[in-house]
Amino acid sequence: MSTIVVDTAAKHNQHGGVRAGAGRKARIAGPKIVKRIPVSLIPAVEHLMNQLVATPLRPAQHLPADCWKIADNLTRLNIPLATETIPAGFPSPAEPYISDYLDFNQYLIKNQAATIAVRCGGDSMQDAGISRNDLLIIDRSLTPKHRDIVMADLGNEFTIKRLYKLDNSRIELHSENSSQSYPNFSLKEGDTLAIVGVVTYVIKHIR
């Protein structure tokens, strides 16, 4: 076992004053405690702390009430997958055989324990191919990257937006609908954005 400093609830130091700028700079702002952890976990904990310092993004603690949690034990259903791609313009003769079988559970869900499904409630991402009532597959285990489409918790509402990581560590969430005006969200210094997860697939109802 070893010890590592982690954040906890605020406690005030009652022993003397504090000079501005004095002492060793903390890697993560806020009060600290000493907590014992296995030595083998130190690299993982330090990596997590470095990530928290490097980005204002953080995982959301709450989920929408109407999200669907993927079942722990998924059934398997193999659907025939044709060899040829099918053009949308001019028809072509279909191959008379099947090349493979596709299980949509395996295809759509990479991390079962971290995957949820939600329905899109608006049209702000229409130009990105996401329309109202589309079913979105959200992977909460993925680290959000620049230009990922993400589900975000804004504190009083959830939203689906395009994530932009700009210079000087600024974070913005952009709408994509050229036919209507939808707001973008820009995080100011000190703001913390909670990311529910990254949108990996969009499922549309055609008929």
How would residue 117 be classed by pLDDT, with cut points 50, 70 and 90?
A: very high
Average pLDDT, the chain: 79
Considering the domain architecture, whether residues 4 and 94 belong to the same structural domain is answered as no
- The strand pair at 115-119 and 135-139 is best described as antiparallel
Catalytic residue status for 69:
no
Residue 19 included in any domain: no
In 10 A of CB 94, how many CB atoms?
10
Residue 82 included in any domain: yes
Considering the domain architecture, whether residues 117 and 185 belong to the same structural domain is answered as yes
Partners of 195 in the beta sheet? 59, 152
> What is the b/e burial string over 25-55, where b = at least 16 CB atoms within 10 angstroms of the residue's CB?
eeeeeeeeeeeeeeeeeeeeeeeebeeeeeb
| pLDDT tens digits for range 143-168 | 999 999 999 998 888 999 999 998 87
Distances (CA, A) of 187 to 57, 58, 148, 203: 10, 13, 17, 30
Which residue in 32, 161, 181, 204 is the catalytic one? 161
Domain that holds residue 153: 68-203
Residue 151 sits in a domain whose CATH number is: 2.10.109.10
CA separation for the pair 186, 176 (Å, rounded): 15
| pLDDT tens digits for range 4-21 | 444 433 333 333 443 333
Which residue in 124, 131, 186, 188 is the catalytic one? 124
Residue 17 included in any domain: no
Considering the domain architecture, whether residues 120 and 36 belong to the same structural domain is answered as no
Considering the domain architecture, whether residues 45 and 133 belong to the same structural domain is answered as no
Q: Is 195 exposed, middle or buried (0-12, 13-18, 19+ CB in 10 A)?
A: buried
Considering the domain architecture, whether residues 35 and 123 belong to the same structural domain is answered as no
Residues 6+ apart with CB under 8 A from 188: none
Catalytic residue status for 161:
yes
Considering the domain architecture, whether residues 149 and 73 belong to the same structural domain is answered as yes
pLDDT for position 69? 85
Listing DSSP states for 57-79 in one string gives EEE-S---TT-EEPPSS----EE
In 10 A of CB 78, how many CB atoms?
11
How would residue 173 be classed by pLDDT, with cut points 50, 70 and 90?
A: very high
Residue 95 included in any domain: yes
Q: List the one residue out of 81, 108, 83, 80 whose CA is nearest residue 94.
A: 83
Considering the domain architecture, whether residues 39 and 84 belong to the same structural domain is answered as no
| pLDDT tens digits for range 46-67 | 776 765 565 567 788 788 888 8
Q: Which residue has the higher pLDDT, 93 or 5?
A: 93
What percent of the chain is modeled with pLDDT above 70?
Answer: 75
Residue 62 included in any domain: no
| pLDDT tens digits for range 62-82 | 888 888 888 888 888 888 887
3-class DSSP state for residue 126?
Answer: helix
Residue 158 included in any domain: yes
Considering the domain architecture, whether residues 94 and 172 belong to the same structural domain is answered as yes
Considering the domain architecture, whether residues 100 and 133 belong to the same structural domain is answered as yes
How many domains, in total, are found in the chain?
A: 2
Q: List the one residue out of 180, 183, 190 whose CA is nearest residue 161.
A: 183
